[in-house]
């Protein structure tokens, strides 16, 4: 992932003061997909997680295609369907493993699969708004995650 300055407009919290200025901004391009990550070392009512050192990580994924990724939930992990500002989403509490599927690269006719190891550092809420998928990670409750996610656009 390449660290960049913030020269363009990306998703931000709608309500004034919901989030401070991000500590770091990252941009990754993977074929047509564009992934922008805003990382916050400090955020209201949240503490940095041991694994990342950030209090909050907001990722916006545009033009990703389908399927974007699959989650594997470990023992003690739960997933609950939620609604974020009228958009469907999921709140995941506990360690998660992510698998991305790259249909442009194949092995023996099958799409390439990339696994990312589970991290127990923070809970996650994921939702889509049209062609944009959002992922918000932090040490928050389901209610707090939905409330904060609802301010993002």
Alpha carbons 36 and 141: distance in angstroms, whole number: 24
**Stretch 95-112: mean pLDDT:** 60
pLDDT in tens, 21-65: 899 998 887 666 778 889 999 988 888 988 788 999 998 888 766
Cα dist. 114→33, 48, 99, 106, 146 in Å? Answer: 16, 27, 6, 12, 28
CB 62 within 8 A of CB 131: yes
Domain boundaries, the chain: 2-149
Q: What pLDDT score was predicted for residue 19?
A: 76
Both tokens of 124, joined, read 């996650």
Both tokens of 114, joined, read 């990339």
Both tokens of 151, joined, read 């301010």
Q: For residue 115, how far is the Cα from the chain centroid?
A: 16
CB 126 within 8 A of CB 135: yes
pLDDT in tens, 105-124: 556 666 555 444 444 457 89
pLDDT tops 80 at residue 125: yes
Whole-model pTM?
0.75
Q: What is the average pLDDT score of the chain? A: 75
Q: What pLDDT score was predicted for residue 39?
A: 92
pLDDT tops 50 at residue 6: no
Does residue 39 or residue 13 have the better pLDDT? Answer: 39
């Amino acid at each position: 992932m390449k660290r960049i300055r913030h020269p363009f407009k990306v998703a931000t919290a709608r309500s004034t003061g919901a989030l401070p200025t991000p500590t770091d901004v990252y941009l990754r391009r993977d074929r047509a997909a564009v992934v922008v990550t805003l990382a916050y070392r400090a955020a209201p009512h949240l503490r940095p997680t041991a694994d990342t050192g950030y209090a909050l990580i907001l990722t916006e994924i545009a033009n990703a295609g389908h399927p974007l990724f699959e989650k594997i939930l470990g023992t003690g992990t739960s997933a609950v369907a939620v609604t974020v500002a009228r958009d469907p989403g999921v709140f995941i509490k506990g360690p998660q493993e992510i698998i991305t599927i790259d249909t442009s690269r194949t092995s023996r006719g099958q799409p390439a699969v990339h696994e990312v190891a589970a991290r127990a550092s923070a809970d996650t809420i994921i939702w889509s708004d049209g062609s944009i998928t959002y992922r918000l990670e932090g040490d928050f409750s389901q209610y707090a995650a939905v409330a904060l996610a609802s301010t993002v656009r």
